[in-house]
Amino acid sequence: MRADTPYKSIADIIQAKEPPKCGATGTASSSYILAMLLEETVGAKFTSVLGYQGSGDTDMAVEKGEVVCRAHNVSAHFGREPFDSWHKKGFDRHIVQTGRKRDPNLPDTPTLYELMDQYKTPELSRRAVQVILVGGEFGRPLVVTPGTPPERLNILREAFAKSMKDPELLAEAKKSRMDVDPSTAEELEALIKEAMSQPKEVNERVKKLLGN
């Protein structure tokens, strides 16, 4: 959110007479989906301005004041321009993040899950949100084909875990300003089971929210 707007928090947006305008490429973009989820869960309304051709066009629209907000991946937001300059100038403020825990880059920014607790979001909406956001929680998983022998799977998992602690890899990632926050196979399996074992009413709500 542009820092020169009156929207300093989700509470300000909920109470606003005029919803803030957020830029998005289309209805499948993170900006559009997050705006829709915030209205569904806590009643914060946004006006989504669609049709921007990409991230660069959306960023430029924010700088020009055509729109005042957008959603963005946290790791990219803290890893390149124009956001480095935005932060140095105090151009933007961070309103909400969708992870289940606060990102180290955003220690003072509430998560959507914290907001759902605060505003007592109904269970049906909470579950629908969890299903919709689970893809982002997977990150970029490494997978193998079904039927891979358990012993081979364990070797791969152990090798991955060791590589994520390798000093040279971590140093190179830091040099490239890349966050290293790996998940275990067990954590990803739990996410899959959670997403795939929802009752019918949750799946129907997800379809309705996503326009299917």
Could you report the per-residue pLDDT of 131-146, keeping only the tens digit for each? 999 887 777 888 899 9
Q: Does residue 45 sit within a domain?
A: yes
CATH code of the domain containing 30: 3.40.190.10
Decide which of 79, 97, 120 is a domain's last residue: 120
User: Which of 95-99, 118-122, 178-182 shows the lowest per-residue confidence on average (mean pLDDT)?
Assistant: 178-182
Q: Are strands 21-23 and 47-49 parallel, antiparallel or unpaired?
A: parallel
Q: Which two tokens stand for residue 157?
A: 């998992």
pLDDT tens profile 51-76: 999 999 999 999 999 999 999 888 88
CA distance 127 to 31: 20
SS3 92: strand
In sign, the C-alpha dihedral spanning 45, 102, 176, 156 is negative
In the chain, the number of structural domains is 2
pLDDT at 28 over 80: yes
Decide which of 120, 142, 166 is a domain's last residue: 120
Say whether both 88 and 185 belong to one domain.
Answer: no
The reply to whether the predicted model has a pTM over 0.75 is yes
Decide which of 97, 120, 143 is a domain's last residue: 120
Say whether both 144 and 197 belong to one domain.
Answer: yes
Say whether both 134 and 74 belong to one domain.
Answer: no
Say whether both 47 and 116 belong to one domain.
Answer: yes
Determine the average pLDDT of the residues in 162-167: 91
4 secondary structure, DSSP code: T
Say whether both 100 and 16 belong to one domain.
Answer: yes
CA distance 118 to 126: 12
Q: Does residue 3 sit within a domain?
A: no
Q: Which domain holds residue 129?
A: 124-209
Q: Does residue 65 sit within a domain?
A: yes
Say whether both 14 and 113 belong to one domain.
Answer: yes
